[in-house]
Structure 1
Amino acid sequence: MTSFDEVVAEDYIPTDRPMRIGRYMLGAVIGEGKSAIVRKAAKEGDKKKYAVKVLNKLAGHRGTLIQLQFQQEVEALRRISHENVICMHDCLHSQKRLYIVLELLTGTLLSIYVAKRRGLSEHETLDYSQQLTSALAYLHKNYIVHRDIKPDNVILDKETKLLKIIDLGLSATCPSTPHLTRRCGTPAYMAPEVTNTTGYGCAVDMWSLGVSIVEMLQGAAPVLNELHHKGNYPKLVQRRNMFAGLPSLSKDCVNFLDRLLQLYPERRMSAADALQHAWVKSCQTSKPQHQQQQHLQQQDTE
């Protein structure tokens, strides 16, 4: 096993001393997570700037898990191309590190934007919800479940109002029959069935979408401390608590949330159905004509 000193020494790269990986020159750190850092990068002969996610595959007992997550993320990103999902350009590895070269996004985390605004209007929330629903419908059509949908994993370009889902490190391939059993994700956004040993599927993303919409509307994630176990299945005692802090909403919005935040996954609305819901459909009628045409072209490619 790699010693602590070796790991720390390898991890420390001063931002004023760029590091080269293949044809990429890594620069300043622009993001940090539990198992990865993100650096700004430039490629030889290319004027574009990139973001490079760097993972330590020798991180003690977590090394194997990190390598698995790297493989899952790369496999998912190679298969997809959607305006609301971050794009991968390349992937590399060294003896001790794994690198995912991604498009460089300008903007802010949706969670930070929502917190600063102390909640968004229903109209603005609708626009962002439609984009997230479109992305999830595309992922699920390609048999990919994200497993960690939350505003912390969404980048918002405040000028164009375009959202992009990031961090597919927990993503997995999931056919029509739910079979995933690994308990993962962020507890506040985690669907109840994730703790059930019988398996789960794409429906977990739809629960997380519902929680994320609630957060957008009220300015903070709902506190779900009303979960109690009955046998091996968690039971939500007072689901209405999730709606308690919300402002006055349209009937379509309430119905949309209600159909996402269903305890049992088989009763939960799918992403494809969500795209046809009256609340989401109303978003298209309020967009300028050129944006509607762009969206329809995107759906055709899906």
Structure 2
Amino acid sequence: MPFGCLTLGQKKDYNNPSDVADKYDLGQIVKSEEFCEIFRAKDRNTLKMSTCKKFHKKDGRKVRKAAKNEIMILKMVKHHNILQLVDAFETKKEYFLFLELATGREVFDWILDQGYYSERDTSNVMRQVLEAVAYLHSLKIVHRNLKLENLVYFNRLKHSKIVISDFQLAKLEKGFIKDPCGTPEYLAPEVVGRQKYGRPVDCWAIGVIMYILLSGNPPFYDDADEDDDRDKNLS
């Protein structure tokens, strides 16, 4: 089943694992995350490289929901500062998402190494993030997990663009949203307070990102954060 015909929730027309293997050569696992495994992949026909995210259905409802949600959202968006979906497959046991390959570093890694950005570099990053988020909000999409780790340089060139990644928690705003999720350091007060919320929570997260870029430190910090190993992603 080609990407454009993928119908989520359909139980009768799955891809076979061989469909994925016939089109893509999957390399070794690059990273394992909470919901998925990440690979480098090469299109066997074009030889073009991409990033593959593999979700195992057996890992539970939360994982299946994250995979289906990311496919749905990314099929809606096309923006030069958003990592684009290239292809998607659903088998009986897995979801495969193939995304543009970003070869640059995470902005988070740059901060760890350099400490902070200059005002000029910060303004360049923020302009791109704001343009992408304004586009998402025009489609009534709330990202809900904007953070430094999800801002990536598209390549290693000096003037590489920034792209936003990780849309597993993104949500279409159909009235107010109730379920809290995200990363604690970036959460807006209404999410922390378990109140109804919408697109403005992304604007709060952007403010936190800008503060860290300029200062090298988060605006809100609790010493207790270092004393536990809890998962920092709410879901």
**What displacement does 1:158 show?**
4.3
Structure 2 residue 170 is the aligned partner of structure 1 residue 165: no
Matches within 5 A, 1:198-217: 198-217=195-214
**What displacement does 1:139 show?**
0.3
CA distance 1:21–1:128, change in 2 (3 Å): same
Q: Tell me what 2:13 maps to.
A: none
Structure 2 residue 225 is the aligned partner of structure 1 residue 219: no
Greater relative contact order, per chain length (Cα 8 Å cut-off, separation 6+): 2
Moved more, 42-51 or 79-88: 42-51
Structure 1 counterpart SS, 2:58: coil
CA distance 1:196–1:91, change in 2 (3 Å): same
Tell me if structure 2 keeps the 8 A contact 1:89–1:103.
Answer: yes
What TM-score, normalized by structure 1, do the two folds share? 0.64
- For residues 166 and 21 of structure 2, the distance between their equivalents in structure 1, rounded to whole angstroms, comes to 21
Q: Tell me what 1:295 maps to.
A: none
- For residues 155 and 221 of structure 1, the distance between their equivalents in structure 2, rounded to whole angstroms, comes to 19
Tell me if structure 1 keeps the 8 A contact 2:52–2:96.
Answer: yes
**What displacement does 1:225 show?**
4.0
Structure 2 residue 151 is the aligned partner of structure 1 residue 126: no
Tell me if structure 2 keeps the 8 A contact 1:26–1:42.
Answer: yes
- For residues 117 and 199 of structure 1, the distance between their equivalents in structure 2, rounded to whole angstroms, comes to 37
- For residues 156 and 113 of structure 2, the distance between their equivalents in structure 1, rounded to whole angstroms, comes to 13
Aligned-residue sequence identity (percent) comes to 28
Matches within 5 A, 1:174-253: 174-175=173-174, 177=175, 179-225=176-222
- For residues 25 and 182 of structure 1, the distance between their equivalents in structure 2, rounded to whole angstroms, comes to 38
Q: Tell me what 2:48 maps to.
A: 48
**What displacement does 1:68 show?**
1.0
Structure 2 counterpart SS, 1:83: coil
CA distance 1:120–1:198, change in 2 (3 Å): closer
Deviations 1:120-161 (A, max 9, x none): 111100000000000000000011110000010111144233
Q: Give the aligned residue type for 2:21.
A: I
Task: Return the index of the structure with the highest Cα Rg.
Answer: 1
Q: Tell me what 2:17 maps to.
A: none
Q: Tell me what 1:69 maps to.
A: 66
Q: Tell me what 2:25 maps to.
A: 25
Unaligned runs of 5+ in 1: 1-19, 227-302
Unaligned runs of 5+ in 2: 1-19, 224-235
- For residues 42 and 137 of structure 1, the distance between their equivalents in structure 2, rounded to whole angstroms, comes to 32
**What displacement does 1:220 show?**
3.1
Structure 1 counterpart SS, 2:79: coil
Moved more, 35-44 or 204-213: 35-44
Structure 1 counterpart SS, 2:146: coil
Deviations 1:222-244 (A, max 9, x none): 33449xxxxxxxxxxxxxxxxxx
Supply the RMSD in Å over aligned alpha carbons.
1.8
